[in-house]
Amino acid sequence: MPALVNNNAPIGEDATDVIYALRKQSDETKICREMVKKLSQSEMETAARSSYKYLSKSLDGRCSSEEREHYAMAMALRYLRVAKGDQLSALASMKSTIAYREEIDVDGLRRCFYESDNPDESKANRYDRYRSNLFEQLSTAKAYVRGYDIKGRALYPMIPRRNNSFDPEWYLKGYVYMMERALACTERKTEGL
């Protein structure tokens, strides 16, 4: 709460600011909960997996439905704030992003370097293909995650002159993978904020 206190304000205004901030936070939470209720179970899982922390825990089977809802609500809150409180616009954008994440298999891209002893042969073959294509994209270091800014956000420098890719699909997936790595680093450093 210290960030909400204005030391130069007349007595009483600080309390009003705090009450307003808490009321706004409560309203946002209620709207986000409504947004998450409108998602299917599959969509909610994909929304929660946008958090690297949740993805890591879910692979071990250590996540509860409450945690899934919590991480899905975190995604909903980001979209609600971008849409400036417009619930319908935020939900439409969120569902569109969820569909896109499933279409290009963002979770598969994120997990392909970690799951080597997968009993499912088709998934193992797919991850082998992902690894080789991503390695080709990442070997030039045209983009990388390096260090943090003052607020703990990962830095993501891009050097376009190093681009040597002529495959549009893997060009895009390489950048998506690197952005996901940057977001995972930021989430780890800032405790998800």
Which residue ranges make up each domain of the chain?
1-103, 104-193
Q: Model confidence at 26, in pLDDT bands (50, 70, 90)?
A: confident
Over the stretch 73-122, which tens digit does the pLDDT of each residue have?
999 999 999 999 999 999 999 999 999 999 999 999 998 887 655 668 88
Q: Which of 115-124, 126-135, 178-187 has the weakest average pLDDT?
A: 115-124
Which amino acid does the sequence have at 40?
A: S
Question: Helix (H, G, I), strand (E, B), or coil: what is residue 148?
Answer: strand
Q: Alpha-carbon distance 178 to 30, whole Å?
A: 33
Which amino acid does the sequence have at 21?
A: A
Nearest CA among 59, 90, 89, 61 for reference residue 73: 90
Q: How far is CA 38 from CA 41, 67, 119, in A?
A: 10, 17, 34
- pTM for this structure? 0.77
Over the stretch 139-168, which tens digit does the pLDDT of each residue have?
888 888 999 999 999 998 888 888 877 888
